[in-house]
Amino acid sequence: MDFLNPVINGFVVVLEPTNLLYCLIGVVIGMLIGVLPGLGPAATIAILLPLTYNVEPVTAIIMLAGIFYGAQYGGTITSVLLRLPGEASSVVTVFDGYQMAKQGKAGTALGLAAIGSFIGGTAAIIGLTFLAPIVASFALDFGPPEYTALALLGILLVATISNGSKAKALIAAALGLLLATVGRDIFTGASRFTFGNLQLADGIDFVPIAMGLFGLGEILYNLEERHRAAKAPSKVTNVWPSRNDLKQASGAIGRGSVLGFFLGILPGGGATIASMASYAMEKKRAKQPERFGKGAPEGVAGPETANNAAATSSFIPLLTLGIPANATMALMFGALLIQGVTPGPQLVEQNPELFWGVVNSMYIGNILLLIMSLPLVGIFVKILRVRAAILAPVTALITLLGAYTINNSMFDVTLVVVFGIVGYLMKKFGFEPGPLVLAFVLGELLESSMRRSLLVFGGDPTGFFGRPISATLLVVFVLVAVLPVIRGAAAKRKASTPAVTAASEIKEKV
């Protein structure tokens, strides 16, 4: 029962009024931005980072986590009602959800999605509760070489799994690593890439980079892409699915929970991939696959369950290894660093209140979200009437003023605008900003563990292969790096196969 003590203490932390309030704020914001097409959870979290400065670490992460999984619930609403995916992870919900809405079953689709999300999310939290301490205790023996290999693998996986050109994602990652070196070299104290600027002497802060690239960059990008005005949503009645619907969808919910949980743990995985994989799996398993795309309840329940499970389980690598699995987790990592907490295997032991507080807050958050998405769904549908033209300047101003409040300096605001330009141009030219931010966050860890390892190995890089765990990780690294090249060559040889699946095309759209 000793194991359960910190878990129960975690509930005590969550039930503090402040934490409950921030949990509520987080999931409401998450729901809102999920409903509004345009800003994604990563952008929102980036913009709201300054809010977390004056609160306890656990409170801050509870709120940010709420935004993340709340957005998974909210994204469903626009997918079903308007055929506009509010979030990348809800794209596949459009296919069957919108068809169901047209058949007058919008309420059923939303209800199934909400119940599936709740079950998937809760299952993933339970999995997280049991798996995370095991992973963390395993990783406690990790030394600098293992961390070097892990960070390299994490960056590579995020870059390879991202949408679009892999070379471009790797370029973005390299730029992130380079930006992380700006400032004082921790080993020798020499200044690097500061160009004599005193404000760069301590390096570039994470927050302006994240706010600029994810926040302002996305706002600017959206100015160009006029979102089609949200049409009046069709009638939402009877959000409680019938027993028959539930029975039909229960298998999909079960499979989605498991699939989402495991895809969320993988670096580079996450909600979007999980929802697509679940849709593909449900379609493949179905006795009548032709029903899919014509309003099959499994096609809504499965992906929606999977994206929530994945959103939750992607906290595992962050909280146990200190390696963010995707761009949003990189933002959480940054937020924790700001608070003076370094995520890693020692977190469960040294900071149990934080760890279990955040994990257990997700139970509360999921219950709140279930309440908001079933009886209160009508309120959120009304939010769709807020026009993007009004939202854009408000978010831009929040970003600028928020950036000022970090250090009360105009320099940070300038940095945000500069990185906003960079982020906009990157998106225009097909570079994902995600790998850049992730690499930036991991840059210092990577450099210092690599240099420490080399000191231990006496400057011999083959030493990394002398330790079983780092050797394994590096072999995986090489495999991941080389495999696409081989596969590309093989694909060229039999170029006559036009096997373009719908999923891969959609991936490019998002």
Partner 1 sequence: MIPVKETPAEPAVEADAAEADDLTPEQLAAQWEEEKPPAAGALANAASSLVVLGVGIAAVVLSVAMGLGTPASPQPGLWPFIISCVMVALGLFQLIAGRHNRDAEKFTRMSTAPLTGLVTLAAMVALMPLIGFELPALVLCVIWMRFLGGETWRATLVVSASVVIAFYGIFVLALGTSIPHLF
The interface with partner 1 within residues 91-120 (CB under 8 A) comprises: 92, 94-95, 99, 102
Q: How far apart are CB 269 and partner 1 at their closest, in Å? A: 22
171 residue type, one letter: I
Q: How far apart are CB 492 and partner 1 at their closest, in Å? A: 12
Judged by CB under 8 A, which stretch of 5-13, 113-121, 254-262, 443-451 contacts partner 1?
Answer: 443-451
| Residue pair 69/271 in contact by the 8 Å Cβ criterion | no
> Would you say 155 or 253 has its CB closer to partner 1?
155
Cα 363 to Cα 120, 212, 356, 366, 510: the distances in Å are 11, 32, 11, 5, 29
Region of residue 476 (left: phi > 0; alpha: psi -120 to 50; beta: else): alpha
Cα 119 to Cα 102, 103, 270, 367, 414: the distances in Å are 26, 26, 17, 10, 44
Instruction: Kindly report the number of other CB atoms within 10 A of residue 235's CB atom.
Output: 12
Is 262 a binding residue for partner 1 by CB under 8 A? The answer is: no
Segment 446 to 475, residues that bind partner 1, using CB under 8 A: 447, 450-451, 454-455, 458-461
Q: How far apart are CB 417 and partner 1 at their closest, in Å? A: 5
Q: Which of 2, 3, 141, 188 binds partner 1 (CB under 8 A)?
A: 188
Segment 387 to 406, residues that bind partner 1, using CB under 8 A: 387-390, 392-394, 396-397, 400-401, 404-405
Using DSSP, state whether 83 is helix, strand or coil.
Answer: coil
| Residue pair 180/202 in contact by the 8 Å Cβ criterion | no
Judged by CB under 8 A, which stretch of 60-68, 236-244, 361-369, 491-499 contacts partner 1?
Answer: 236-244
Q: Which of 353, 414, 476, 480 binds partner 1 (CB under 8 A)?
A: 414
Q: Which of 238, 248, 250, 342 binds partner 1 (CB under 8 A)?
A: 238
Pattern of binders to partner 1 over 481-510, x per CB under 8 A?
A: ---------------------x--xx-xx-
| Sole residue written with tokens 């960079």 | 422
> Would you say 137 or 237 has its CB closer to partner 1?
237
Segment 17 to 76, residues that bind partner 1, using CB under 8 A: none
Is 214 a binding residue for partner 1 by CB under 8 A? The answer is: no
d(CA 207, CA 404): 11
The candidate with the shortest Cα–Cα distance to 87, out of 121, 42, 26, is 42
Side-chain half-sphere exposure of 66, counting CA atoms within 13 A = 33
Q: How far apart are CB 411 and partner 1 at their closest, in Å? A: 10
Is 424 a binding residue for partner 1 by CB under 8 A? The answer is: yes
Cβ contacts of 41 within 8 Å, gap of 6 or more: 30, 33, 34, 67, 68, 71, 87, 328
Residue 231 tokens read as 């049409």
Q: How far apart are CB 85 and partner 1 at their closest, in Å? A: 9
Chain centre to alpha carbon of residue 221: 20
Judged by CB under 8 A, which stretch of 350-358, 360-368, 413-421, 465-473 contacts partner 1?
Answer: 413-421
Judged by CB under 8 A, which stretch of 122-130, 134-142, 186-194, 201-209 contacts partner 1?
Answer: 186-194
Q: What is the dihedral of CA 419, 422, 423, 425, to 10 degrees?
A: 160
Is 151 a binding residue for partner 1 by CB under 8 A? The answer is: no
Q: Which of 5, 197, 199, 237 binds partner 1 (CB under 8 A)?
A: 237
Segment 275 to 334, residues that bind partner 1, using CB under 8 A: 292-294
Q: Which of 104, 289, 430, 484 binds partner 1 (CB under 8 A)?
A: 430
Judged by CB under 8 A, which stretch of 28-36, 215-223, 247-255, 348-356 contacts partner 1?
Answer: 215-223
Chain centre to alpha carbon of residue 114: 19
| Residue pair 427/437 in contact by the 8 Å Cβ criterion | no
Q: What is the dihedral of CA 140, 335, 413, 155, to 10 degrees?
A: 50
Q: How far apart are CB 14 and partner 1 at their closest, in Å? A: 26
Q: How far apart are CB 495 and partner 1 at their closest, in Å? A: 13
